[in-house]
Amino acid sequence: MRTYHPLERLSRAKGMNAIVAVFMGMLIVAFFRVQVVGSDSWELRSESNRLRQLPIPAPRGTVYDRNGLILADNVPGYAITVLPAPRDSLLRTLAHLSEYMDISGERRERLIAYLDRYGNQPLVVDADADFAVVSALEERRSEFPGVYIEMRPRRRYLVGAAAGHVMGYVGEVTGDELESGEFRGDRYEQGMVVGKTGLEREYEERLQGYQGLRYVEMDARGRIVGDFGSFHTNPGAPGAELRVNIDMELQQWIHRIFPDSMIGAVVALDPADGSVLALYSAPSFDPNDFVGGIDANTWRALNTDERKPLYNRAVMGLYPPASTWKLATAGIALDQGVVDPDEEMPIPCTGSMWYGNRSWRCWNPQGHGYNNLAEAIGNSCDVYFYQIGLRIGLEQMLERANDIGFSRQCGIDLPQESKGDFPADKSYWSRVWGYTAQEGEVLNLAIGQGPNSQTPLKMAQFYVALARDGSAPPPTIAEGVTLGEGWKLNLRPEHIEALREGLRSVTAPGGTAHFGTTLEHWDVMGKTGTGEHRLSQAGLAPPHAWFAGMAGPFGGDPEIVVVVVVEYGASGSRTAAPIMAKTADFYLRKKHGIPLDTIQTLSEHLQTRGWPRWYRERYGSLP
């Protein structure tokens, strides 16, 4: 057996030994390279393997009303997040997740788009998950590698619909908003909750805060195994709080007294500084519905509702101001010095007036005879104001009305506000109507008709000027912000007194709004308005009802200005005026420490217990 001769065996054994040496040597060299030479870089990779950056969501700032009551705060919520993964495994995870929660096809596409764009950031599947979903997922933790559930602050609006339009609402930032740079900087990223409308949007920068970062140790299945507390943790910063001039209880009160069946707006301003006490638009919506994504049915209902609940009529709705605007005519005339408050106009009101080959009617065909300013306001006499308008002149009227901002925004601190609709100059008529403006246009303008539409907020700002010394600061919601200069009419104290006298006669015995506005404790004055519009002119619908008024203690300056518009409300004195009076009553009683009476206006007293004693004491006799 030559084959297995010892020498043969020896030489083959040497060959085998060489093979062992070569193979094992290769391994040792490979391990030397990886473990000794390249150890540092692998060490680094090992760290990044298990350390993940997770955002620490910043709670949004709390919003307080003027009395320190909370309008909006945060409660704990849950967000479901997926760690970045290859597209296929992400899709698989989403498909598996959708067995336990709703993930729309659109949402899925958006998540994939985010993944493609931002690569290695965690993706928020649901920024505000239901507790049922969260517990279902927690039970099946091991089935969902790469999915983690974190606590996130959830917005809560304490008065719901009562302050829906003022507060606005929050929602998840959309891809478009991120791309368009509406929410700029590295402060914003997918899955974050941002203000969409109202104060939430206006003061987004302040309320948002800064998202923090923490590093956690996470195992290969996406389970958080430990917190890396000391390792470059950036706690972030919670959003700053916001104090607003709004009176939350007043806001709730208005929400309660504004008739459910009616559409309209209420604006209450403090004449002391123009701060906004209440801003209400009816119908309202509950911003809590929007937190964590509004469900499709609610959203559809809000958008298809003909009453447009999402539309903030107080700052966006434009209505022909009608008779409430006569005060502006009067104010401009006094400011220009073309009329004296005691002076009676030369042409008496006989129910109409001739000017430029046609008859201009007064609303009352019976006529009002000779009127001074206060009487004319009390009677809302069109003929008187026609003549004032002519004295001011079209050019002056346009110029001065534009000066005091009837074609601008008030500049309130809300994201959307309509500009007043008022001709900037005479070219308006040739531009829009195709004819040269005649002096006669001023007659229409003088009684608040013609090309003139204003927001309830704008009219409220104008009445603030009357409740003060002729100057009007811009309406302001947030405390301690300055929103610009405002404007001023040059009115002497006796002018102011004459205008208020006129407003007071509207609510005095015999005035149209007497029954709806007369209150036990307060001196209420104001002006009704009947805003004709296209439908009402065609006789298809009642006109819009206005009441612009102010109230305060007897013998003192007004302490609140309230403007109410009720769409299709027909009668300013009957529908709008009581809302104004009750709003003022609530606020003033609270301010002066008088217990609230649910039976407030004279008409309410008459409906329940007959003539109140205070009425006899004030006026001596019954009308």
In the complex, the residues that contact other proteins under the rule CB under 8 A are: 1-4, 6, 8-10, 12-13, 15-17, 19-21, 23-24, 26-28, 30-32, 34-36, 38-39, 41-43, 45-46, 49-50, 85-86, 89, 217-221, 223, 225-226
- For the bound state, the minimum distance from the C-beta of residue 35 to other proteins, rounded and expressed in Å, comes to 4
The full DSSP string for 551-611 is EEETTS---EEEEEEETT---IIIIIHHHHHHHHHHHHHHHHTPPP-S--SHHHHHHHTSS
| Comparison of 141 and 391: residue with beta carbon closer to other proteins | 141
Tell me the backbone φ, ψ of residue 36, rounded to 5 degrees: -105, -50
CB contact at 8 A, 294 and 348:
no
Q: What is the 3-state secondary structure (H, E, C) of 456-504?
A: HHHHHHHHHHHHCCCEECCCECECCCCCCCCEECCCCHHHHHHHHHHHH
| Comparison of 217 and 241: residue with beta carbon closer to other proteins | 217
- For the bound state, the minimum distance from the C-beta of residue 113 to other proteins, rounded and expressed in Å, comes to 19
Give bridge partners of residue 275 from the DSSP assignment. 270, 476
| Comparison of 21 and 594: residue with beta carbon closer to other proteins | 21
116 to each of 84, 109, 110, 187, 418, how far by Cα in Å? 10, 11, 10, 20, 40
- For the bound state, the minimum distance from the C-beta of residue 73 to other proteins, rounded and expressed in Å, comes to 36
Tell me the backbone φ, ψ of residue 253, rounded to 5 degrees: -60, -45
- For the bound state, the minimum distance from the C-beta of residue 47 to other proteins, rounded and expressed in Å, comes to 8
| Comparison of 85 and 133: residue with beta carbon closer to other proteins | 85
With tokens 């009101």, the residue in question is: 349
- For the bound state, the minimum distance from the C-beta of residue 10 to other proteins, rounded and expressed in Å, comes to 6
Which residues contact residue 48 at a Cβ distance below 8 angstroms, ignoring those fewer than 6 apart? none
Tell me the backbone φ, ψ of residue 53, rounded to 5 degrees: -85, 125
- For the bound state, the minimum distance from the C-beta of residue 23 to other proteins, rounded and expressed in Å, comes to 5
Give bridge partners of residue 128 from the DSSP assignment. none
- For the bound state, the minimum distance from the C-beta of residue 161 to other proteins, rounded and expressed in Å, comes to 46
Q: Which of 477, 474, 395 is nearest to 200 (CA)?
A: 477
| Pairing, β 70-82 against β 147-157 | antiparallel
| Comparison of 23 and 611: residue with beta carbon closer to other proteins | 23
- For the bound state, the minimum distance from the C-beta of residue 141 to other proteins, rounded and expressed in Å, comes to 9
HSE (CB half, 13 Å, CA atoms) of 300?
Answer: 3
| Comparison of 88 and 617: residue with beta carbon closer to other proteins | 88
**Number of other CB atoms surrounding residue 96 within 10 Å:** 13
| Comparison of 225 and 296: residue with beta carbon closer to other proteins | 225
b vs e for 8-32, b when ≥16 Cβ sit within 10 Å of the residue's Cβ? Answer: eeeeeeeeeeeeeeeeeeeeeeeee
CB contact at 8 A, 98 and 278:
no
DSSP letter at 121? S
| Comparison of 81 and 336: residue with beta carbon closer to other proteins | 81
CB contact at 8 A, 239 and 207:
yes
- For the bound state, the minimum distance from the C-beta of residue 44 to other proteins, rounded and expressed in Å, comes to 8
**Distance spanning both ends of the chain, measured CA to CA:** 145
| Comparison of 2 and 534: residue with beta carbon closer to other proteins | 2
- For the bound state, the minimum distance from the C-beta of residue 233 to other proteins, rounded and expressed in Å, comes to 19
- For the bound state, the minimum distance from the C-beta of residue 83 to other proteins, rounded and expressed in Å, comes to 11
- For the bound state, the minimum distance from the C-beta of residue 14 to other proteins, rounded and expressed in Å, comes to 9
The full DSSP string for 175-220 is HHHHHHTSS-STT--TT-EEE-SHHHHHTHHHHH-B-EEEEEEE-T
* Ramachandran region, residue 305 (left: φ > 0; alpha: ψ -120 to 50; beta: rest): beta
Pull the structure tokens for residue 415: 């994201």
| Comparison of 35 and 608: residue with beta carbon closer to other proteins | 35
- For the bound state, the minimum distance from the C-beta of residue 165 to other proteins, rounded and expressed in Å, comes to 48
| Comparison of 8 and 99: residue with beta carbon closer to other proteins | 8
Q: What burial class does residue 450 get, using C-beta atoms within 10 Å of its C-beta: 0-12 exposed, 13-18 middle, 19+ buried?
A: middle
| Pairing, β 242-243 against β 264-270 | unpaired
Residue type at position 218: M
| Comparison of 52 and 504: residue with beta carbon closer to other proteins | 52
| Comparison of 16 and 535: residue with beta carbon closer to other proteins | 16
- For the bound state, the minimum distance from the C-beta of residue 38 to other proteins, rounded and expressed in Å, comes to 6
| Comparison of 30 and 95: residue with beta carbon closer to other proteins | 30
- For the bound state, the minimum distance from the C-beta of residue 89 to other proteins, rounded and expressed in Å, comes to 8
Q: What burial class does residue 103 get, using C-beta atoms within 10 Å of its C-beta: 0-12 exposed, 13-18 middle, 19+ buried?
A: middle
| Comparison of 37 and 622: residue with beta carbon closer to other proteins | 37
Q: Which of 202, 193, 243 is nearest to 70 (CA)?
A: 243
